[in-house]
A and B are shown apart, each in its own frame.
Chain A
C-alpha cells in the first residue's frame, strides 16, 4: 500500500538543512489512566523535513505532538531532538490551535514572549519587529490583540513561535479555526517561512488537503500507531487542485474512511 515509504528521504535530502533539528522517537507509549492513547511509535524525522500527521479525532495525533513539543512526558519510550533526550528548550516551539496571545500585551510584546529573557530589551524589540514584518504585520505592533482578526492573531502567534529561530516547530492544527481563504494564505506563509528558515516542521491537521499542500511526508495515525507513511514528492510551489496532489489526497482519504 505504501510503496512511497521506500524512498521517503529522497525529496528531503536535497534541502537537508543545518538549521533544522533531527527527531527520533523510540517506542513511544502514552497512557491516560487505563486508556492507552499511543501504542508504541518509532519514528525518525530528518532535519528540515516538513511532516504532517493526520488522522481521525481521538487517534492520538495531538497527544503525539504535545510529547514532541515537550509539554507532556511519554509513559514509556524516549524522544531525542538532535540526539538529546533532556528538556526541550528554545530550539523547540509549539504553535497552538488557538493563538493564545496575552490580551493585555500589545502585539510586539506578545512576539517578545518568544524571545529569551537573557536578551537585552533593545535587541529583543528589534528581533520581534523583524519577525513581525516577515509575517506582514509590521504596522500592527502597537495594537492590542483583541482588535486583530483571527488570521492576524494566528500570524502574531507564528511570529512569536519563530522569533527565537527554533530548529523544530510543532503546529497543533494551527489553522483549524480560520476561514478557507485565510487558511490558504496562512499555509503559504508557513511554507514560505519554512523554506526561508529551514526548521523542521511537524503539523497536526485533520485536513488531508492541507497536509498534502504543505508536507514532504504524511503520517496517518490510527488507534495510536502509524498506519501509513507517505512521501509527497510534488515539487514546490504546489498549485491547489494539482492532479498529483489529488491522487495522494485520495489515497490517504481512502485509508481514513476505510476504518
Chain B
C-alpha cells in the first residue's frame, strides 16, 4: 500500500493529460498526448537517432565533469592542506566564482566557436566550483583530534593523508559531487540548446523547427532521466564509500 500511494497522483495526472489531449482540449502543437510522446520515443529509438544523441551528450557531460571536477578536487585538497597555496589561489578563485558561468556563453562562442571545446569548457567551469568549495571545506573540517592521534601514533604524512584527511573530507566531497552533477546537466542543456549540431539539446531544437512537439517533450524527459540516473549512481557510490557513517548506513 505504502508503495502504491505515492504513484496515485502522477498516474492520475498522466491519464488526465491523455484524456484532455484526445478530447482536443489540449492542442497537439502545445502539448501532445503522453501516448504521442511515447510513440516519438519509440520512433527515435528504432532509428538509432536517440542513441547517437544520448551518447554524445553523455560523453560531453562526463568529460567536462572529469576535467572540471578533477581540477576542483585537486585544488580543494591543495588549498585545504597548504596555507601558502590557499593564500595564493583562494581569493582569485572566489572572485571568478561570482561570475555566472553561463554568462560567459557569448565569449566562449567567440573563443571556441560552437564546437565541442565550448561545451566542455562551460561544463568543466560549472562543475569546478561546487567540487572545489566542498573539497576545501571537507579538508578543513577534518577532526583535529584525529590528526593529532595520527601524529602521536607516528603516521607518515602520506599515511595521515590516506587514512585521516581523505576519508574525513569524503562526506563533504560527495555533497559537492552531487551538486556538481546537477550543474553539469544544466550547463549542458543550455550549451546544447544554444549551439550545436548533435546531442539531446540539438535534437530538441531541431524538432522545434519542424514543430515536432512530441520530440521536444521527449528530449526534456531524456534530460530528466539522465539527471536522475547520474544522481542515483552518485547516491549509490556515497552509500558504499560512507558505509561507516551511521547517517548513510542501510536501515
Contact = CB atoms under 8 A, between A and B. Distances in A.
B245 A146 contact: yes
Contact of A102 (B163, B245, B246): B163
Interface in A147-164: 147, 160
Residue picked from B146, B149, B168, B242, most chain A C-beta under 10 Å:
B149
A103 B145 CA distance: 12
Interface string A216-233: 000000000000000000
Residue picked from A96, A103, A146, most chain B C-beta under 10 Å:
A103
Residue picked from A100, A145, A147, most chain B C-beta under 10 Å:
A100
Contacts of B155: 113
Nearest to B155: A113
A93 B145 CA distance: 15
A89 B151 CA distance: 11
A175 B155 CA distance: 25
A89 B149 CA distance: 14
Contacts of B213: none
A104 interface: yes
A113 B156 CA distance: 12
B232 interface: no
A105 B163 contact: yes
B152 A71 contact: yes
B145 A69 contact: no
Contacts, number: 50
A215 interface: no
Given A71-B148, A96-B145, A103 B245 contact: yes
A61 B193 CA distance: 68
B111 interface: no
B152 A69 contact: yes
Contacts of B210: none
B16 to A, nearest CB: 48
Q: Taking chain A's interface residues, is the majority helix, strand, or loop, or is none over half, making it mixed? A: loop
Contacts of B153: 93, 113-114, 160
Contact of B164 (A69, A102, A147): A102
Interface residues of A, number: 24
A7 B183 CA distance: 74
A100 B163 contact: no
A175 B167 CA distance: 27
Residue picked from A90, A104, A106, most chain B C-beta under 10 Å:
A104
Interface in A132-174: 144-147, 160
Contacts of B141: none
B154 interface: yes
A207 interface: no
Contacts of A114: 153
Contacts of B148: 71, 100
Contact of B149 (A100, A116, A144, A147): A100
A172 to B, nearest CB: 11
Given A94-B152, A96-B145, A113-B163, 14 more contacts: A89-B154, A90-B154, A98-B145, A102-B167, A103-B244, A103-B245, A105-B163, A105-B244, A106-B244, A113-B155, A114-B153, A146-B244, A146-B246, A160-B153
